[in-house]
Amino acid sequence: MKRFLPYRAVVSARYRMLLQYRAAAFAGLVTQCFWGAIRLMIVAAFYAASTQTQPMSLPEVVVYIWLGQAFFGMLPWNIDEEFAQKVRDGSVAYDLLRPVDLYAFWYSHALAYRTAPTTLRAIPLGCLAILVLPRLGLAEWALGAPPSWASGVLFGVSLVGAAALSTAITMLTHISLLWTISAAGMDRIMPAVVTVFAGMVIPLPLFPDWMQLCLRLQPFRGLVDVPFRIYSGNIPPDVALLEIISQGVWVGCLVWLGRVLLARGARKLVVQGG
Amino acid sequence: MAIGESLKLYWLYVKLSIRAQLQYRAAFLLAALGQFLITGIEFLGVWALFERFGRLHSWSLPEVAVFYGLVNCTFACADALSRGFDQFGVLYIKTGHFDRLLLRPRSTILQLAGHEFALRRIGRFVQGLIVLVWAASVLNVEWSVARVSLVLFSILGGACLFFGLIVMQATLAFWTTETLEIMNTLTYGGVESAQYPMAIYHVAFRRFFTFVVPLACVSYFPVVGILGIADPLGSPWWFQYLAPAFGILFLSACLVLWQWGIKHYTSTGS
């Protein structure tokens, strides 16, 4: 167990630091709620006007939207400014000297960066959507419980998978800095790619049928589409297991790719002096 | 001070800012492209929903595209011009730099408006314009002088409205020091909601964006007038043509609020 101590320390230190910003979290909460409300009203209007059956029911989309608002921060859409700074001013050299596995060390950093602010946001937003909305007489817009225990438990597992996947993708963008130095490119392109392919713009099953196969075969759907549809039961528990395995396979592939690239990048890295 | 002289000075600010941004050409292009992509994917979502559902009540995709394109062009203009107010808390209040602005013999509004002319917002503007032009070519609308002027009037009114919201956000910083992210719900949230016809929203939400923040007056009502259809909310045609004026009124109110806020400014002293 002692082997993991440095990585655990990194995660907990980041958590404690990020939990300091409570006012920012409150502002974020209000923003997410407002955003969720707009999305709900738009989708509901589409459903109200339509008579055909859709690949997702409206209550399933409601779940999708609330969970999307709650776990928005977990998406790998940006680069940790602190890390970018490290690469820019050359202090990345210190990390190379540490007697730890570099990939695992940075992965722990990135994991905390992805999950700490999200916890702060997801818990209050979840409480609001689960407990407060029904009391305001808005029960049909509330975030209900999963349809079965199995769905709930599998959602938990796939959420952990999503966090691992998100961190693995963040690592790839971080490692790309070893070549590009500037984070500007990645920070501009990633939000567009991630939000579309994860399912944050609209739930993936609502895209046209001819796009579905392509959407199925890309890693980003493991971030949003898979866990949220498991929660609502749109992906039934027996299929969910398969989906979670494919999430795991993607994590494995991306971690492997990250390690290969990091080994290469670290070898030819030119440390910026200063 | 004469208005003409102010405008000349402002033009100088803009020229300088553009020249500065074009020094980093690659960074500028990347930023503009990023804006284009990030805001453009929203329309991908709109398109996909129409592909799936066919119609949104009585609204078709090209009709909604007019709402979408117009509000995006509008917000891009306001966003490009208001960087000084947008960054006010961080750049001027926290650092105490606002003291310097107060010492200069020109209005603070002019100086902050001239802070930066954010050329990269052209990314959002262009994608909104493309959607708007596409919609205009598909729709069966006769482009009379009156209609084209209504388009321009609503862009002007809308730009004023969003500029006003950002000035209001900056005004709040006199008390809070930090720039309040919560105001983003009104700016970005406003853009998000005005991309669809207001008629589809909950009545309380609609009232808020008509009577408190007159967003519907610069997007929904004029667009209904431009499309030349009967408004499901029942507004008369003359109101649709006058409505964007409320955006200008809103900005005036925000500037009055700003002047009043300045009186309450205490420097952070750093």
What ipTM was predicted for this assembly?
Answer: 0.88
Which pLDDT does position A272 carry in this prediction? 59
User: Is a pLDDT exceeding 90 seen at residue A253?
Assistant: yes
> B200–A207: do the CB atoms touch at under 8 Å?
no
- Which residue in A38, A188, A201 is closest to B44 by CB distance? A201
Mean predicted lDDT score pLDDT of chain A: 88
- Which chain B residues contact residue A196 at CB under 8 A? 41, 44
B37 touches chain A (CB under 8 A): yes
> Cα separation of A121 and A125, whole Å?
6
**How far off is chain B from A54, nearest CA to CA, in Å?**
8
Which pLDDT does position A110 carry in this prediction? 92
Token couple for B248: 């200008």
- Which chain B residues contact residue A207 at CB under 8 A? 48, 51-52
Q: How many CB pairs under 8 A join A and B?
A: 90
> Cα separation of B235 and B218, whole Å?
14
3-state SS of chain A is CHHHHHHHHHHHHHHHHHCCCHHHHHHHHHHHHHHHHHHHHHHHHHHHHCCCCCCCCHHHHHHHHHHHHHCHHHCCCCCCHHHHHHHHHCCHHHHHHCCCCHHHHHHHHHHHHHHHHHHHHHHHHHHHHHHHHHHCCCHHHCCCCCCCHHHHHHHHHHHHHHHHHHHHHHHHHHHHHHHHCCCHHHHHHHHHHHHHHHCCCCCHHHCCHHHHHHHHCCHHHHCCHHHHHHHHCCCCHHHHHHHHHHHHHHHHHHHHHHHHHHHHHHHHCCCCCC
- Which residue in B33, B42, B189 is closest to A201 by CB distance? B42
Query: CA B180, B186, B187: angle at the middle one, nearest 5?
Result: 90
Each residue's pLDDT, cut to its tens digit, for chain B (270 residues) gives 578 888 899 899 999 999 988 888 888 888 888 889 888 899 999 999 999 998 898 899 999 999 999 999 999 999 999 988 988 888 888 888 888 888 888 888 888 988 888 888 899 999 999 999 999 999 988 889 999 999 999 999 999 999 999 999 999 888 877 666 778 888 999 999 999 999 999 999 999 999 999 999 999 999 999 998 888 898 999 999 999 999 999 999 999 999 999 988 888 765
The candidate with the shortest Cα–Cα distance to A70, out of A25, A132, A135, A20, is A25
Q: Which residues contact A185 (CB under 8 A, 6 or more apart)?
A: B30
> B53–A49: do the CB atoms touch at under 8 Å?
yes
> Cα separation of B73 and B77, whole Å?
6
Mean pLDDT in residue range A120-140 = 84
> A38–B189: do the CB atoms touch at under 8 Å?
yes
- Are the CB atoms for B66 and B223 separated by under 8 Å? yes
> B185–A188: do the CB atoms touch at under 8 Å?
no
Confidence of residue A134 (pLDDT cuts 50, 70, 90): confident
**Stretch among A20-24, A69-73, A142-146, B24-28 having the lowest mean pLDDT:** A20-24
pTM recorded for the entire structure: 0.87
> B57–A54: do the CB atoms touch at under 8 Å?
no
- Which chain A residues contact residue B30 at CB under 8 A? 184-185, 188
